[in-house]
Amino acid sequence: MPSLLSPEEWQALVLSVKVGLVATLVSLPFAVGMAVLLARHAFPGKQIVNGLVYLPLVLPPVVTGYLLLLTFGRHGPVGALLERTFGIVFIFRWTGAALASAVMGFPLMVRAIRLAVEAVDPRLEQAASTLGASRGWVFLTVTLPLILPGILAGAILGFARALSEFGATITFVSNIPGQTQTLPLAIYSFLQVPGGDAAALRLVVISIVLAMAALIASEVLGARVARRIAGR
């Protein structure tokens, strides 16, 4: 592969995968928690929480990126706090690209996992509690195994979304090769310079292959969740 791609292109691909993996893995537990919360619990302000989760799906990505900049930038309330206490900096770093990707992929992950949670028969969880399992054990031994394919499908969707993230990333952390220049940003950059078409096209093909693979994997796993819950 390295011979097929220039070092710059290769760097963008590796960075994209790294950003996608970190964004997905770090946000996955939160997505599972949010999905269970939204699927199984009634609480005041649920509609607002629901709306906030899905907001990045409908907002222009540039708006999301700008809001991230305001919140997590050096002088943003959260960004300043994180830098002071943990030394974590998002702005102009690959961690910022991962944060932007995580925020953009979160609604898709929550949605896939929430559907899986809603497909679990609560009467099975009740049965587990009558057999002596506390809430935590019920979740670990009944709910989690039954929604596992849904979680995997959600993770793949989130990962694919991270690979395609553009607007929020460029607004939030700019377009810095080796730091925040993921595949879509690299394609954009190549298209801005004369003679960059060939490189852009190569990256386009790679993007299509990655996205298709993720979608197919998601479909296959989605079918498995249905089978598993039907007990076949």
- Please give the residue ranges that form the binding site for other proteins (CB under 8 A): 121, 123-124, 126-135, 137-138, 141-142, 145-146, 228-232
Q: Are 165 and 183 in contact, with CB atoms under 8 Å apart?
A: no
Dihedral angle at the C-alpha atoms of 140, 145, 150, 156, nearest 10 degrees? 90
Q: How far is the CB of 121 from other proteins (least distance, A)?
A: 8
Query: Whose Cβ is closer to other proteins: residue 39's or residue 120's?
Result: 120
* Of 46, 60, 169, 50, the residue nearest 111 (C-alpha): 50
In the chain, DSSP finds a helix count (H) and a strand count (E) of 11, 0
Nearer to other proteins, 7 or 122 (CB): 122
Q: Least distance to other proteins from the beta carbon of 117, Å?
A: 15
CA 176 to chain centre: 21
Which is nearer to other proteins, 131 or 215 (by Cβ)? 131
Structure tokens at 10: 């290769």
Q: How far is the CB of 45 from other proteins (least distance, A)?
A: 24
Closest CA to 161 of 225, 206, 215: 215
Q: How near is the Cβ of 217 to other proteins at its closest, in Å?
A: 21
The residue (of 41 and 75) whose beta carbon lies closer to other proteins is 41
Between CA 199 and CA 232 the distance in angstroms is 47
Closer CB to other proteins, 111 or 228, in the complex? 228
C-beta of residue 120 within 8 angstroms of C-beta of residue 146: yes
Farthest CA pair distance, the chain: 69
- Compute the least distance from the CB of residue 226 to other proteins, in Å: 12
User: Least distance in Å: CB of 136 to other proteins?
Assistant: 10
Q: Is 142 or 162 the residue whose CB approaches other proteins more closely?
A: 142
- Residue 189's identity, in one-letter code, is S
Q: Report which secondary-structure segment, H or E, holds 45.
A: none
